[in-house]
Amino acid sequence: MLKKFEERDFAILREPLESRQSPGTLAGVLLLAIFLQLLMYYLTYHVAARNTYFPNVNLIQKYHFWVTMILVSFSTFLIIPGIMTKLQKVQYLLSIFVSQNLFGLYSLFMGLFLIGENENIREQSLIMFTNIVICIGLFIFVFTSIRFYILLKKGEYRSGSKRDNIRGNLEKNIKSHFPTILTASVGLMFIIQYLFRYVGFDDIEEMFYTVLALLIFFTMMFVLPEQLVILYCKFRFKSFNFNTNGYLNPVPGNKNSSEE
């Protein structure tokens, strides 16, 4: 589907790579994420899940533990200086898995486990609510992906486009994402309404942490399409990868590109 687009159609997506996603920067992020994932594992399964009635917690914990350990092992390998540049495409793929695990899966499970602490809520209701949350997350992902494709088709990710000019402007950037924000807000409003009606939180602080955790999960579904498109560009275009000196390879025919 993306093969019909040219390199210039993805030009704006090089900016986050240049500013904060070089192999060296990602290596530092992956190193930090090793400890954060272990911390989140403890908080999710030994704090949030301690008094939960959510079904199959032990099974979820078992599989999630091995997923986390695999990501930690690969992270340890791909932060080695001589390897991270040679395998920078794999490193970026790993960074997607790590970020989605750290902020997506752990946030999702933590929110669900906190809801499951209420002994009055039925298991069937918990499962139904889980399915609804996941469906909202998938809807946000699909909606954002379709919108991303339409914007690519309009040339909004080309250098010098209107979107290029507003990308750094917070107010206009929020307006450009308004349809997605509205979609997520409707889903969040439904979740809050459900929590008040069927769970009946007595602790407003616990309610806050539950909603925050699910909101972070939705946010990760929102950013996932861009992560995947950048990954696609790294495999397709040389200019989305870094040379041995730590600079992005120049765009063919662009004399203003950084060259070392």
What is the per-residue pLDDT for 87? 92
Task: With beta carbons less than 8 A apart as the criterion, state whether 22 and 246 touch.
Answer: yes
**DSSP state at residue 49:** T
| pLDDT digits 0-9 by tens, 17-68 | 876 788 888 999 999 999 999 999 999 999 888 888 899 999 999 999 999 9
pLDDT band at 199 (very low <50, low <70, confident <90, very high): low
| pLDDT digits 0-9 by tens, 83-140 | 888 999 999 999 999 999 999 999 999 989 988 887 777 888 888 889 988 998 999 9
CB-count burial class (<10 Å; 0-12, 13-18, 19+) for 174: exposed
Phi/psi zone of residue 219: left (φ > 0), alpha (ψ -120 to 50 degrees), beta? alpha
Rounded Cα distance between 98 and 27, Å, is: 12
Nearest to 132 by CA among 189, 182, 177: 189
What is the per-residue pLDDT for 162? 57
What is the per-residue pLDDT for 170? 40
What is the per-residue pLDDT for 159? 79
Share of the chain above pLDDT 90, in %: 39
Backbone angles phi, psi at 242, to 5 degrees: -100, 145
What is the per-residue pLDDT for 46? 92
What is the per-residue pLDDT for 85? 84
What is the per-residue pLDDT for 161? 60
What is the per-residue pLDDT for 56? 92
Nearest to 94 by CA among 107, 70, 75, 69: 75
What is the per-residue pLDDT for 120? 75
What is the per-residue pLDDT for 205? 66
Say whether pLDDT at 232 is over 90.
yes
Rounded Cα distance between 180 and 230, Å, is: 20
| Chain mean pLDDT for the chain | 81
Contacts 24+ apart (CB under 8 A), 175-180: 179/143, 179/147, 180/140, 180/143, 180/144, 180/147, 180/222
Q: In terms of pLDDT, which residue wins out, 101 or 186?
A: 101
Highest mean pLDDT among 113-117, 181-185, 195-199: 113-117
Dig out the tokens for 36 from the structure: 């954060």
Rounded Cα distance between 140 and 179, Å, is: 10
* Total residues belonging to the chain: 260
Q: Between helices 204-236 and 178-194, what is the axis angle to 10°?
A: 150
Share of the chain above pLDDT 70, in %: 78
- The gap from C-alpha 104 to its chain's centroid, in whole angstroms, comes to 6
